[in-house]
Amino acid sequence: MASSSAAADNLAGDVTEAEDKPHDAHRDNHTHRDVNGGWLRPAVFGAMDGLVSNLALITGVAGSNVASQTIVITGMAGLAAGAFSMAAGEYTSVASQRELVLAELEVEREEIRKNPAEEERELAELYVSRGVEPKLAREVAEQLSRDPELALEIHVREELGVDPGDLPSPAIAAVSSFGAFAVGAVLPVLPYLLGAEQLWPAVLLALAGLFLCGSLVARVTARSWWYSGLRQFILGGAAAAVTYGLGSLLGTAVN
């Protein structure tokens, strides 16, 4: 009997292990990208913005045959202006979004306080609209509504699509945008800062940076790295070519 019991236990253990393996394999294989891009998206796009705008600015000025010192001053001024503009815009955008969400939170909190039954019914109807059985939806809504703060969080998540506990910081967003833009914008100026007298080192370094940024974007978009990198390379090169041509024409006309 003891041996039979041990054998049964071993068999049960083997079955449990066998059942767990497909689930483990599924968890290992069934992963998703962060569709919002997390920190990578704003950082990479901020750097690309700095690269393209300052590369275009520098090539435009260089096309008018000015001294390298003038190009450096122009590039650094473009870096500062662009970085501060990006930071101010990002701060305003995130702060406005945060204020809107907080205002909606207060509205929803007041509604739950004044009309708890109506809000519970609304939550149940929301779950029914998503395919939950009416009886189960009412039970879930009733259970969640016992805690007003939990009910508030669920309402905001479901109705507004935001997580009240994970609101972005305007200051962090502004600093991140400033830093990302500045890193990108300094690349076209770097060869001149190191003593280069010609334009081509700045163009090559900036285009290489754009290719790298485009390749990193592939982690968010699921495109192939070479496609994303080449696309940014071409777009940056086109912007530089256009502004260089304009600079040459204007420089000739002025001279």
| 237 alpha-carbon distance from chain centroid | 24
The conformation of residue 196, written as its DSSP 8-state character, comes to -
pLDDT at 35: 42
Q: Which amino acid is at 187?
A: L
Average pLDDT, the chain: 83
Per-residue model confidence (pLDDT) at position 41? 67
Q: 94-137, pLDDT tens digit by residue?
A: 999 899 989 988 988 898 889 989 989 988 998 898 888 999 98
Instruction: Return the structure tokens found at 98.
Output: 């945060």
Burial of 76 (0-12, 13-18, 19+ CB in 10 A): middle
DSSP assignment of 21-37 equals HHHHHHHHH-----TT-
Single pTM value for the model: 0.74
Q: Give 178-232 pLDDT, tens digit per residue.
A: 999 999 999 999 999 999 999 999 999 999 999 999 898 887 777 788 999 999 9
The C-alpha atoms of residue 199 and residue 59 are separated, in whole angstroms, by: 7
